[in-house]
Amino acid sequence: MQNDGTVHVSFWRTGALVAATITSGLTAGLFAAFSYAVMPALSRSDDRILIEVMQNVNEVILNPVFLSCFIGGPAFGVASTVTHWRTTDKVLRAWVIAGLAFYLATLAITAGAHVPLNYDLAAAGDPGRIEDLAAVRDAFEGKWVAANILRSLANVASFASFSWALVLLGRSKTRSTAAELRERVPSS
């Protein structure tokens, strides 16, 4: 096989899409788990426990693994969009762009809702010294949970879009390989 640069481009195109799919899937799973497990469990807890746990989560979540996935999703989504921009498969390109758009919605929801709510919760201070725990909880919990459901849906849609784009990319590679083989095999 002659390497005219298409192998190099194909490697980066595929790699960027795989990485966007993995990172968006990891964050989608995390956010969804908060929606169907963590927050429902905390809703059964008293005010002090919910506040303390969420303050702790908001501190420890800012670690290299989470940030690599959270920032990796859009970074790899942009890389995938750029590498697929000139592809002849417009449907594949559309799914890649959709994956990026849904991930950008995830970021917007996080920045617009979760970050301010998390800062407010941290600013409330030590749960052992908060005078009105119920008021702090009421200002946080309902808004955070509702925004997280939207964020989870957007992130799952991103993951699904990138996943479908991978399926389409695999199909196009299979068709290309089959066509190359037909050209090389002498006809009878």
2-28: pLDDT as tens digits: 455 555 668 888 999 999 999 999 999
92-113: pLDDT as tens digits: 999 999 999 999 999 999 999 9
Asked if residue 179 is part of any domain, the answer here is: no
Contact status, residue 152 vs residue 80, Cβ threshold 8 Å? no
Structural domain containing residue 120: 6-172
Distances (CA, A) of 53 to 14, 73, 77, 81, 139: 40, 26, 32, 38, 16
pLDDT in tens, 106-142: 999 999 999 999 999 999 999 999 999 999 999 999 9
The tally of domains found in the chain comes to 1
Burial of residue 155 (CB within 10 Å: 0-12, 13-18, 19+) is buried
Asked whether residue 155 is assigned to any structural domain, the reply reads: yes
Does residue 66 lie in a domain region? Answer: yes
Instruction: Band the pLDDT of 183: cuts 50, 70, 90.
Output: low
* Domain membership flag for residue 54: yes
Q: What is the DSSP string of 61-130?
A: T-SHHHHHHHHHHHHHHHHHHHHHTT-S-HHHHHHHHHHHHHHHHHHHHIIIIIHHHHHHHHHT--TTT-
Which pLDDT does position 116 carry in this prediction? 98
**Number of residues that make up the chain:** 188
Instruction: Tell me if 117 is assigned to some domain.
Output: yes
Residue 1 lies in a domain: no
Is 185 within the bounds of a domain? no
CB 161 within 8 A of CB 99: yes
Q: Is residue 180 situated within a structural domain?
A: no
